[in-house]
Structure 1
Amino acid sequence: MLMTTNRPVEPAAACADIESVGTVEAAALYRLMTWLSPAFPVGAFSYSSGIEWAVEAGDIGDAPMLRDWLSSMLDGPGFCDGVFLAQAHRAATASDDPMLRKVAELAAAFTPSRERHLETVAQGRAFIDTARAAWNCDGVDDLIAACGGPIVYPVAVGIVSAAHAVPLVPTMHAFLHALTSNWISAGARLIPLGQTDSQRLLAALEPAVAAAARRAMAATVDDLGSATFRADLASMRHETQYTRLFRS
């Protein structure tokens, strides 16, 4: 018989549960599925990362073209975001405040355009605010303070997951999956694509997501960099695009 209770679960108790033997993997999976779900309120649906301009310019017109574009995005900006997430997670886990501040400042300065900066900072702030409100955990406030300024989205995911003792590897894959899913969702609304074609595209990009995750986890901040100039130009030109559905 299923028993229920009206007693609320305190966030502090929920945070402590992740340390219990036998609950680590289940708790980590539950939190990652929640935090990186399309339903988690970070406003990701409002941003296209320049894809809207690329569609208008004719760079993206169908599923194969979108796949090529997103493969490059994963190899460039996606990889860099993964490096920032990994470095933030490791610095937070090691309580290395100077390194965490360095990573947070570099990540905030790394965005190529005003709109991309708005996108990643706004999502980072929303991610932290929601996570603290519903999943607060000892140490999160100290990690936020250690960053010393605006916290971009991958750094926010890195420090929150570290504070909750969620391992880096699944965090990285879940983050890059969510990033890719949002890009596909933007493309589906702009080209447009059907739901089945969107899922086929997500499946086709699985090796690229896995490769970006492996590279990011093996990299250091000295390895940061990409050459996705057309994507950077798209995010800049979107700022003056006449008709827009998205904020970036």
Structure 2
Amino acid sequence: MHAPLPTTSDTSASSLLQLIWLASPALPVGGFSYSEGLEMAVERAGVATEQAASDWLADQLHLSLTRADLAVIAQAIPAWRRADLPRIEQLNAWVLQTRETSELRAQTEQMGRSLLEWLRNHDGANAEHIDNCAAMQPTYPVAFALAASPTSASVRDCLLTYAFGWAENMMQAALKSVPLGQSAGQRILARLSREIPAAVDTALELQDDDRQAFAPILAILSSQHETQYSRLFRS
């Protein structure tokens, strides 16, 4: 008889599968339809090669996603778990207030609504929590935190999930926008995967006064994308 293999995580199998599900590009929230400014960066900022796209997304991970969305989720998950609605509303309002263009705000609102609709037809999240979330014009980070909160997974594992889901969507956007081949996309995803754990650890340490969404070039490109003549993506 073989001895059981040692485990390195307290996350249960069901919780792990739930996180994988939340990270899946097949989740019907529309993440595939956004490039978050990358499409305009290809046209105006010289993101025309694999290396340039890889550098752009790595910078976006550390300078934007880590300091904003990941930091919010890190605080929203425990808030959902203790049913601290005023805290959740505060975090949700911060996300809305720091989306610097109309299309970036529309993205987080649309994906938040879509994830809530998915949750209504999926076992897990508390029905009252879903109704409370729907009443506050939910952003995607706050809705994701709600979806992840019923699991036994650590907050860190939940952040890793969110970041990888973002990385996979953005890699796919790079393939179509630059454009690049599948092998180049996998190399970009491998780089982002190596950098995500450090980004998550940084996000876990950020307090309210440390969060920020200051990314002026990204905001400029996003505003230009709103009137881009020919485009594939909604942001």
TM-score, normalised via structure 1 length: 0.85
Q: 1:55-134, aligned counterparts within 5 Å?
A: 55-79=42-66, 80-134=68-122
Q: CA deviation at 1:75?
A: 1.4
Aligned position for 2:41: 54
Contact residue 173 and residue 210 of structure 1 kept, 8 A: yes
What is the rounded CA distance, in whole Å, between the counterparts of 2:45 and 2:71 in structure 1?
Answer: 31
- Unpaired stretches in structure 2, ≥5 consecutive residues: 1-9
Deviations 1:5-35 (A, max 9, x none): xxxxxxxxxxxxxxxxxx9510111111112
Q: CA deviation at 1:191?
A: 1.1
Contact residue 48 and residue 183 of structure 1 kept, 8 A: yes
Q: CA deviation at 1:172?
A: 0.4
Aligned position for 2:197: 210
Contact residue 51 and residue 186 of structure 1 kept, 8 A: yes
Query: For residue 94 of structure 1, what is the amino acid of its counterpart?
Result: R
What is the rounded CA distance, in whole Å, between the counterparts of 2:124 and 2:117 in structure 1?
Answer: 9
Aligned position for 1:192: 179
Aligned position for 2:170: 183
Counting aligned pairs with the same residue, the percent is: 29
Q: 1:131-146, aligned counterparts within 5 Å?
A: 131-137=119-125, 139-142=126-129, 144-145=131-132
Say if 1:82 and 1:171 are closer, same or farther in 2 by CA, change over 3 A.
Answer: same
Contact residue 28 and residue 167 of structure 1 kept, 8 A: no
Contact residue 28 and residue 114 of structure 2 kept, 8 A: yes
Say if 1:245 and 1:60 are closer, same or farther in 2 by CA, change over 3 A.
Answer: same
Residues paired across the two proteins, number: 226
- Unpaired stretches in structure 1, ≥5 consecutive residues: 1-22
What is the rounded CA distance, in whole Å, between the counterparts of 1:93 and 1:143 in structure 2?
Answer: 13
Deviation beyond 6 Å, 4+ runs, structure 1: none
Deviations 1:106-154 (A, max 9, x none): 11211111000111111111112112212243x2433541674111111
What is the rounded CA distance, in whole Å, between the counterparts of 1:104 and 1:135 in structure 2?
Answer: 23
Q: CA deviation at 1:40?
A: 0.7
What is the rounded CA distance, in whole Å, between the counterparts of 1:187 and 1:213 in structure 2?
Answer: 22
- Which residue of 24, 38, 41 corresponds with 2:28? 41
TM-score, normalised via structure 2 length: 0.90
- Which residue of 233, 237, 243 corresponds with 2:220? 233
Contact residue 36 and residue 178 of structure 1 kept, 8 A: yes
Contact residue 52 and residue 190 of structure 1 kept, 8 A: yes
Say if 1:24 and 1:104 are closer, same or farther in 2 by CA, change over 3 A.
Answer: same
